[in-house]
Amino acid sequence: MATSNLKHALFCAIITLVVSYPILGFNLVSQGTSVGLEGANPTTVTAVFLAALAVFLFQLFRDQIMSGLGRVPKPALPTTRNMSDATRVRMQNLIILFVVIGAAIWPFLASRGSVDLATLVLIYVMLALGLNVVVGLAGLLDLGYVAFYAVGAYTFALLSQYFGISFWVALPTGALLAALFGLALGFPVLRLRGDYLAIVTLGFGEIIRILLNNWTSLTGGPNGIGGIPDPTLFGMEFGRRVKEEGNISFHDFFGIAYDSTHKIIFLYLIALVLAVMTFFAIRRLMQMPVGRSWEALREDEIAARSLGLSRTGVKLSAFTIGAFFAGFAGTVFASKQGFISPESFVFLESAIILAIVVLGGMGSQFGVILAAIAVTILPELAREFSEYRMLIFGAAMVLMMVWRPQGLLPMRRIHIHLDKPE
Amino acid sequence: MLDAYFLQQLINGLTIGSAYALIAIGYTMVYGIIGMINFAHGEIYMIGAYTALIAITGLAALGVAFLPIVLLVALICAVIVSSSAGWAVERIAYRPVRGRHRLIPLISAIGMSIFLQNYVHLAQGSRNMGFPLLIEGGFRFGAEGDFQTSISYIQITIFITTLICMAGLSWFIAKSRTGRACRAVSQDLGMSSLLGIDTNRIIAATFVIGAALAAVAGLLLGMYYGSIDPLFGFIAGLKAFTAAVLGGIGSIPGAMLGGLILGVSESMTSGYLSGEYKDVVSFGLLILILLFKPTGLLGKPEVEKI
Amino acid sequence: MLEVRELSMRFGGLLAVDQVSLDVQEHEIVSIIGPNGAGKTTVFNCMSGFYKPTGGKILFGDKEIQGTPDYKISRLGLVRTFQHVRLFNRMTVVENLLVAQHRHLNTNLLAGLFKTPGYRKKEQKSLDRAAYWLKRVGLLDLANRDAGNLAYGQQRRLEIARCMVTEPKLLMLDEPAAGLNPAETRELNQLIISLKEDYNVSVVLIEHDMSLVMEISDRINVINQGRPLAKGTPDEIRHNDDVIKAYLGEA
């Protein structure tokens, strides 16, 4: 046993070296048209050897380490288990209420930059909640989710450019159009098995991006579309000067000095309201027959069919509803940026949203919201780490699947009270 | 209709297509055995290309210029590094989640793909690197002044290498002990392990073989395209997967056929429409095939097990 | 009420079911028995719409249903269980029963989102029906447990309850006694008879447990190697030479 362990540990260490040394130990440098080679700095090389050593030691003492880890008591999570269910639900609602009120007051105290970032966080919250329906509840791996986000954003951009349509008209239009796209794309592909579906949605996402990039006459191609209007509040504009005839500007109406943060805060509040709406709408859906059938299909498709659930119908509803919320988020995003281009809708974006759902806990709304906040804010806080962001996301996705596939804050089943039958 | 320009597109398509086929083997074999899409396979191919480039530049720095030696060393390095990476990926990201709910290995694979992409990105930068065309020259035919069809030596190399690899692989699967075990495991994993086949070993072997072939493709396509960057595995991986599905996933001749069809339709799109839309065409092809003939051209129909 | 006429199912070169006929009348328990691999489950899969038979007819009432999609068949009132229990494991016991009643709760999305009184009423009804059946199969106290955490015998009963909340006309049970201990099998016996007697549901049963089959079946169909071998009452089957031969092998 010991010798086979030693052999295996040695093998693993060598593999570590082979995989990391050539890539990390040498740096390719462009020299005009040709390429030169430099040795990496000694710290990197030392790190590579240390990593190999660590792998060796871990594999050698694997059994001991694993059994040691098993003995470490699991950190006791605060449980609400002994609370009655009615109390828990009431507590939960109270907490949500406080958080929402806090979130609504906060922008008036915070800096302009952080409010802007918070708006982005809320957009990601919407996206992640929407994707959570598709991936977490219905169990459909959609890798092209960003396409629906793009549909929402481009709907607003194009409608405002060509027809001068305002944010408030574009918001439902964008979401409905995204949903329609979801329906149209979903209809043919949802018959496919899970892994095929993943790759086909990925393909669709790429196709949409390529089309946006190349249909220059309509979308401006890689240059994107600018001049997307800000939302208005009952016809009041937030710019210094009124752009549209008949409108009045916000600061004139209230007789206060012009401040560009008004607009930022207003957008943030819109995003907050939409995110909260998304949250409650989906929470409600989860307790409705449609939401239960999503989960049923995820758990056992054959059993679901045998009970009269139409596979296509159920999947389509999840796909469409997920797309709808992505369209919402897209419209807000377009309005926040004032400018959009295909670059904002690459596969990486889909991967980030997926990472949020997976890390938070598939199906768990609270988990997904927390993960959206963490994933968007952490790279901003630790800027020196921001280039490692995707590396860490990738690794985290693997580790989560291996060790904790239910996510950081796993989904909790809702307790259903039954009256005792006579 | 068989004019010189058409012929040129056909040749270009067959070249690219045969390289796709080499990558597609990795998808098709892994899918055949454990029924999952190895999303990180494109990255394994990209790592192969990078290793080959590092080896080539390193040898040039050392003053080794004899072409066969350079190619051979680059090939060996690429194959070793990629195979090791393939083995490690299976060990770290797939084996622990094997047999869990089908979403879990898939997400793990995507995570691995993102990780490897950014690993190379961080180590080697995001800029694309010029890849020296070691096999230069070729020959042209057709009337002077008209459009001349040309075949370069690198195209011939790619095509022939692919044929050799495919033949070798087919022989290996058909005749060798490991190959027989591979077939048994892909028929019935549980039964094979009851019969004393070390299924873990066979699955690992599948990953290693797929990775090695991807590394060969990495070297060849690196030279053919003339530059590489950390993202170049991702799209190539998708293309190769499309090829595998097109031909019928699980089938090795299918991968070859699918690769060639895909390569040709892509180069025809580039040649007659626009290079921008070639990805659209290949994704479109993938979607159509999955919708209308999900078993691919040479795949066997699956019966749903209830 | 159900009639299967000369049903055949071919997979590639393999003829799994060859000209099997059977019929089920109202208020009747009919069993299909036969050695392993005889094609019993394939017959079930054709009847429940999972496979499209390559030959023959299936009549439900006077409607031909061969080749009708699975989910539509179950909506007609033909519901089945599976040889290996198929529950929605990560959903609670009561949720399993609510999923099955989606048809009874088929209101539009907005009514549900805003909890209209009409929606609430229907929801309460399906909760009551779920509670009734949970009590009937003795799982009421476990209503909020994850279905995947139940003991095997409980899972079997839950699967039957899940079928019953859809208010089927015909219930198809695929080896319901597999893996149960003798006490549980006896309970199951009672349950199946009660489904017929008290709820007026006809039952088609695939089963290996001969004591169960002989005790509760009104009629029995024997299939061997995909072909019909014999049919009749339990007594007739018990004394049929062909059946004895098929089960014991030729001596």
Chain C CA closest to residue A298: C88
Interface of A with B in 247-276 (CB under 8 A): none
Domain membership flag for residue B261: no
Cα separation, A165 vs A180, whole angstroms: 20
Full-model pTM: 0.87
Cα separation, B37 vs A143, whole angstroms: 13
Can you tell me whether residue C210 is helix, strand or coil? helix
Cα separation, A359 vs A401, whole angstroms: 9
Chain B CA closest to residue C83: B306
Q: Are strands C2-11 and B227-228 parallel, antiparallel or unpaired?
A: unpaired
Residue in this structure with the two tokens 């016991």, named with its chain if needed: C93
How many structural domains compose chain B? 1
Of C11, C41, C82, the CB nearest to B303: C11
Domain membership flag for residue B42: yes
Distance from CA of C42 to the nearest CA of B (A): 9
| Whether residue C10 is found in the same domain as residue C73 | yes
Domain membership flag for residue B269: no
Decide: B112 and B39 in contact? Cβ < 8 Å: yes
Distance from CA of B51 to the nearest CA of A (A): 7
Residue in this structure with the two tokens 């392993």, named with its chain if needed: C36
Chain B CA closest to residue C11: B303
Cα separation, A229 vs A161, whole angstroms: 9
Chain-centre distance for alpha carbon A316? 20
Domain membership flag for residue C177: yes
How many structural domains compose chain C? 2
ipTM field = 0.91
**φ/ψ (deg, to 5) at A142:** -100, 110
H helices present in A132-193, as ranges: 146-163, 167-189
CB–CB contact B306 C11 (8 Å)? no
Of C82, C102, C128, the CB nearest to A293: C102
CATH code, domain with C37: 3.40.50.300
Ordered per-residue pLDDT tens for chain A, 422 residues: 567 788 888 888 898 888 888 888 888 887 766 777 777 788 888 888 888 899 888 888 888 877 777 776 655 555 545 556 677 778 888 888 898 888 888 888 888 888 989 999 999 999 999 999 999 999 998 989 999 999 999 999 999 888 888 889 899 999 999 999 999 888 887 777 777 888 888 888 888 888 888 888 888 888 888 888 887 777 677 776 766 666 777 777 777 777 778 888 889 999 999 999 999 999 999 988 899 999 999 999 999 999 999 888 899 999 999 999 999 999 999 999 888 999 889 888 898 899 899 889 888 999 999 999 988 888 777 777 778 888 888 898 899 889 888 888 888 888 888 888 76
Domain membership flag for residue C182: yes
Distance from CA of B262 to the nearest CA of A (A): 15
| Whether residue C75 is found in the same domain as residue C22 | yes
Chain A residues in contact with C128 (beta carbon < 8 A)? 419, 421
Chosen from A192, A196, A306 to mutate, greatest number of chain B CBs within 10 A: A196
Residue A243's identity, in one-letter code, is K
Strand partners, C172: C80, C204
CB–CB contact A27 B124 (8 Å)? yes
Decide: C78 and C66 in contact? Cβ < 8 Å: no
Which residues, other chains included, contact B288 with Cβ-Cβ below 8 Å and sequence gap of 6+?
none
Domain membership flag for residue B277: no
Interface of C with A in 149-208 (CB under 8 A): 162-163, 166
Map out the domains of chain A as residue ranges.
2-63, 87-403
Angle among Cα A376, A161, A177 to the nearest 5 degrees reads 65
Chain A CA closest to residue B119: A391
C20: domain range? Answer: 2-83+170-248
Residue A295's identity, in one-letter code, is E
| Whether residue C37 is found in the same domain as residue C94 | no
Of B84, B113, B291, the CB nearest to A19: B84
Q: Are strands A26-31 and A34-39 parallel, antiparallel or unpaired?
A: antiparallel
Domain membership flag for residue C231: yes
Q: At A156, list the tokens.
A: 């607003």
Pick the CATH number of A87-403 from 1.10.1060, 1.10.10, 1.10.3470, 1.10.155: 1.10.3470
Cα separation, C209 vs C192, whole angstroms: 14
**Is residue A35 within 8 angstroms of chain B, CB to CB?**
yes
| Whether residue C181 is found in the same domain as residue C65 | yes
**φ/ψ (deg, to 5) at A325:** -70, -30
B62: domain range? Answer: 7-135+153-239
Domain membership flag for residue C140: yes
Chain B CA closest to residue C90: B101
Decide: C1 and C60 in contact? Cβ < 8 Å: yes
**Is residue C41 within 8 angstroms of chain B, CB to CB?**
yes
**Is residue C112 within 8 angstroms of chain A, CB to CB?**
yes
Q: Are strands C29-33 and C78-80 parallel, antiparallel or unpaired?
A: unpaired
Domain membership flag for residue B68: yes
Domain membership flag for residue C160: no
Q: How far is CA B174 from CA B29, B170, B216, in A?
A: 14, 6, 22
Exposed/middle/buried for residue A2 (C-beta within 10 Å: 0-12, 13-18, 19+): exposed
Chain C residues in contact with A89 (beta carbon < 8 A)? none
Question: Which of B184, B237, C40 minimizes the C-alpha distance to A202?
Answer: B237
